[in-house]
Amino acid sequence: MQEHFPKYAKKVVENIRPSPNALVVDIGSNDGTLLQEFKKYGLRVIGVEPATEIARIATEKGVKTFAGFFTPDLAFQIKQEYGPAGIITANNVFANVDDLFTLTEGIRSLMAPDGVFVFESFYLADVIENKVFDFIYHEHLSAFSVAPVQRFFQHRGMQLIDVQRIPTKGGSLRYTIQLAGGPRKISSSVASMLQFEESFGLYRPETFKAFLAEIDSLKTSTVACLKKVKSEGKMVAGYGASITGTTLIYHFGIGEYLDFLVDDNPAKQGRFSPGQHIPVYDSRVLYDRKPDYVIILAWRYAEQILRKHKDFLKQGGKFIIPVPDFRIIEQV
């Protein structure tokens, strides 16, 4: 995301051409990394972040951040103190909100007449196309696509004017919304994406039945492999202790085959996986304990992991990649 956000801010500023000193408000702003990029263009920035400690750190770094959830009341407060927002952003957070109606009410009230709301979220068609089933978990309450997003905002006096495909999160869309009758023309990208969704069959039941069959097939292959190698007395580790990794472990039912997990995030190391309490270590442990197989639970990053651990392969270790196509990597 640190690589993604500079490109993100640059693209939005180029497309929207906000007035000098316009206000940018980021909902779910985390440590203010995105807003720091908008500041480079001379824009005023405000963050909204419910994690109190992170909000404090962001403010100390020069990004004024309100510690709390974004509500219509907070939107009113920000507007009173700083004026209307030329740009409001929400990245990988819109799908996590249960009450989208109230959230959108606050966004609409805070927007300047010529302002825009820009949000990114993983794309339902990419979930299916790229087999990103492990994004379906408790925190993700919605999976968005263009047709329902367009209707949702139309019913709230707003208008979808642009859609861009981006590679993050296994395939996402960046939606740009303005107030109904706003100054910007609707991009041809909206009609193109609606046509794509129709040809893809995104709203046909058989599309989802085929998706389920593909995931079930990958599950069968993965379980059969792990059952076989464990019956031979082999040691198996899992690479990636993320939420998606946990989802994969549970949906495939493979927790019983994993001796331990490794993760490159220090915050995960020395802890245990949810529910099954599988210990999590630094990935350097692979060279000490020398498991026979490592299943890459963080499969979207398989190529990076393989590059990082060429020595593990040279020493005779094997990697199992369960998704999007089951395969075993035995050599560099």
- pLDDT computed for residue 332 by the predictor: 60
Poorest-pLDDT segment among 4-8, 178-182, 186-190, 298-302: 4-8
The pLDDT tens digits for 43-76 are 999 999 999 999 999 999 999 999 999 999 999 9
Average pLDDT, the chain: 96
The pLDDT tens digits for 189-201 are 999 999 999 999 9
Mean pLDDT, residues 31-37: 95
- pLDDT computed for residue 89 by the predictor: 98
Kindly tell me if the per-residue pLDDT of 269 is higher than 70.
yes
Q: Which contiguous run of DSSP H or E holds residue 25?
A: strand 23-27
Q: Sort 37 into a burial class: Cβ within 10 Å, 0-12 / 13-18 / 19+.
A: buried
- pLDDT computed for residue 169 by the predictor: 82
The beta-strand segments (E) located in 129-259 are: 158-166, 172-179, 236-239
What does R_g of the chain's alpha carbons equal in angstroms?
22
Which tokens sit at 228?
């076989």
Kindly tell me if the per-residue pLDDT of 111 is higher than 90.
yes
**Nearest to residue 109, comparing CAs of 135, 140, 88?**
88
- pLDDT computed for residue 4 by the predictor: 85
Kindly tell me if the per-residue pLDDT of 222 is higher than 90.
yes
Q: Sort 248 into a burial class: Cβ within 10 Å, 0-12 / 13-18 / 19+.
A: buried
- pLDDT computed for residue 262 by the predictor: 98
Query: Which domains does the chain carry?
Result: 4-203 (3.40.50.150), 222-329 (3.40.50.720)
Band of the pLDDT at 156, cuts 50, 70, 90?
very high
The pLDDT tens digits for 164-183 are 999 888 899 999 999 999 99
The whole model's pTM is what?
0.90
Q: Sort 116 into a burial class: Cβ within 10 Å, 0-12 / 13-18 / 19+.
A: buried
- pLDDT computed for residue 1 by the predictor: 67
Q: What CA–CA distance (Å, rounded) separates 175 from 51?
A: 25
- pLDDT computed for residue 170 by the predictor: 82
